[in-house]
Amino acid sequence: MPSVRYIEKAAFTWEREGIFTLEKAEEYLKALEIRKSARGQIKKVMQIWNREFSPTEKECVDNWIKMGFEPAAVAIAYDRTVVKTGGYSIGYMDGILKNWHNKELHTAAHIIEKESGQKKNTADKYKKQDTGKHGEPNSEDIKRMQELLKKIKDE
């Protein structure tokens, strides 16, 4: 049974949130449950086991949820943070996720698709660059080298 103090706090919160009808209360409780579930999933992704989120972490995680990030997208950001910084950094992760939010990338599938497309475009750019510029051999240079190697081998 909730205490009187808890009920008072809840009433003040609901008033601040503009919740004055049963429908609004149901919406609020549903959103609260979704946020709580998402927090739990993100906590696992961030490998936080034996503690609660710090106030800063909680604020960041809630912002990511509001932005529409799924836990799998946060997992990619966490992995990149650890690889790039050598450890966990909430600020670095937040920067990655804000960058993706600005690009409207909120799911792991969209992030991977966008990045694989960028890698493909980069690879295509290098494939087309068969001109021999910047000290890179072109196809004619490669043929000459193969012929030279064949001659040396035959001798």
Over residues 80-116, the pLDDT tens digits come to 999 999 999 999 999 999 999 999 999 999 999 888 8
Domain that holds residue 126: 109-155
Residues 113 and 71 in one domain: no
Let me know whether 102 and 113 are in one domain: no
User: Which residue, 88, 106, 124, sits at the end of a domain?
Assistant: 106
Confidence band of 51 (pLDDT split at 50, 70, 90): very high
Same domain, 73 and 122: no
Please check whether residues 77 and 131 belong to one and the same domain: no
Question: 42 and 90, same structural domain?
Answer: yes
Taking the CA atoms of the chain, what radius of gyration do you get in angstroms?
27
The verdict on 74 and 116 lying in the same domain is: no
Tell me, yes or no, whether 102 and 114 share the same domain. Answer: no
* 42 and 16 co-located in one domain: yes
pLDDT band at 30 (very low <50, low <70, confident <90, very high): confident
- Angle between helices 71-85 and 90-102 in degrees, nearest 10: 130
108 close to 73: Cβ distance less than 8 angstroms: yes
Band (10; pLDDT cuts 50, 70, 90): confident
Do 45 and 30 lie in one domain? The reply is yes
Helix (H, G, I), strand (E, B) or coil at 133: helix
Six-digit token pair at 61?
Answer: 């995680």
Q: What is the reported pLDDT for 52?
A: 93
The tokens describing 90, both together, are 């909430």
| Helix 55-67 × helix 22-45 angle, to 10° | 110
Q: What is the pTM of this model?
A: 0.64
Q: Are residues 92 and 121 in the same domain?
A: no
Query: Both 97 and 155 in a single domain?
Result: no
